[in-house]
Amino acid sequence: MPSETSRDEVLAAARHVCAGERQPTMDEFAAAAGVAVRTLYRLFGSRAALLREAGCAQELSARQRVLDAALEQVGRGGLAELSMDELAATAGVSRATVYRLFPGKSALFSELIRAFSPWEPVADVLDALPNGHPDDVMPAVAQAIADAMHDRVGLLLRMVFELLQGDPDTAEGMRHSMARGLPDLVGYLNDQMQAGRLREMRPVLAIQLLAGPIVVHLLTRPLAEGLIGAETPQELLGEIVHAWLRAMAPEADADADADAKDD
């Protein structure tokens, strides 16, 4: 189990390597700290969490301000009601800048999917831990999903609703959302099931069994924390993942656990 000292050393190295104008990759953080990428995910859960703890946040670019404003507008009224003029005013840029960055609603929605969907961060986890054991990989996957949806789960659910409507402006976004991350996770879970590390079932169903409780937790967190006490979001997420891993244990392991309880 890594010590607090090693965690502090990693944070010190991270602050040093992100002192420039850009945010480093997990590989760059790992090289600077002299640890494995797996260790970074074990210590911090996700790249976003490491960036936050190291204080590596950058001033938002015009592009990011437009995307943040667009997410709010789509969350309120849907893509059809999105006003490019209001979007420019909210983001503090000119209308010409909005169209230079995103030449139309279809391009804008596609970029919203890329920027705010949890599947890109999930793909990054799987790239970093391609052959990892589910005990190591799935907590990082769950953290990536939770980080992507933090404080915006309602807005992201509205984006899902937009995708399901089949509007032409969202069609490209739908294709993009299915290109990376979700297929990678389906493939990873299938491989782990075939290797006997996870219970066999449809991988998409296994993903739903993990993502569903995370979404419900994020939606109801203020109420839940008031009822069950002062556990941190990280502890609660850990319990969700632990329950998923127990439920997804190979059937032989599950039968052994049941026999032990009967005894």
Dihedral sign for Cα atoms in the order 31, 36, 40, 41: positive
Highest mean pLDDT: which range of 35-39, 65-69, 166-170, 233-237: 65-69
CATH architecture of 116-262: Orthogonal Bundle (1.10)
Residue 57 pLDDT grade (very low, low, confident, very high; cuts 50, 70, 90): low
Same fold, 1-59 and 62-103: yes
Residue 176 pLDDT grade (very low, low, confident, very high; cuts 50, 70, 90): low
- Cα-atom radius of gyration of the chain, to the nearest Å? 20
Mean pLDDT across the stretch 149-167? Answer: 70
- For 177-187, the pLDDT digits (tens) are 567 788 999 99
pLDDT at 120: 82
* Long-range pairs, 129-136, Cβ under 8 A, ≥24: 129/37, 129/38, 129/41, 130/188, 132/38, 133/197, 134/192, 134/197, 134/198, 134/245, 134/248, 135/245, 136/38, 136/41, 136/42
pLDDT at 23: 67
- What is the secondary structure of the chain as a DSSP string? ---HHHHHHHHHHHHHHT-SSSPPPHHHHHHHHTS-HHHHHHHHSSHHHHHHHHT---PPPHHHHHHHHHHHHHHHH-STT--HHHHHHHHTS-HHHHHHH-SSHHHHHHHHHHHH-THHHHHHHHHHSTT--HHHHHHHHHHHHHHHHTTTHHHHHHHHHHHHHT-HHHHHHHHHHTTSSHHHHHHHHHHHHHTTSS--S-HHHHHHHHHHHHHHHHHHHHHHHHHH-S--HHHHHHHHHHHHHHHTS-HHHHHHHHHHHH-
Look up residue 228 and give its amino acid. Answer: I
- For 4-27, the pLDDT digits (tens) are 447 888 888 888 887 755 667 888
Question: Which residues are CB-neighbours of 236 under 8 A, at least 6 positions away?
Answer: 217, 221, 224, 225
Residue bearing tokens 């790992």: 30
Residue 244 pLDDT grade (very low, low, confident, very high; cuts 50, 70, 90): very high
Query: 1-59: which CATH number, 3.40.50, 1.10.3470, 2.40.40, 1.10.10?
Result: 1.10.10
Highest mean pLDDT: which range of 2-11, 44-53, 230-239: 44-53
CB 70 within 8 A of CB 112: yes
Q: In whole angstroms, what is the distance from residue 95 CA to residue 174 CA?
A: 26
Domain boundaries, the chain: 1-59, 62-103, 116-262
pLDDT at 7: 82
Q: What phi, psi does 23 have (nearest 5°)?
A: -100, 120
CB 80 within 8 A of CB 115: no
CB 84 within 8 A of CB 98: yes
Q: What percent of the chain has pLDDT over 70?
A: 76
CA-CA distances (angstroms) from residue 203 to 20, 78, 186, 188? 41, 30, 5, 9
Query: 62-103: which CATH number, 3.30.1490.100, 1.10.10.60, 3.40.50.720, 3.90.1150.10?
Result: 1.10.10.60
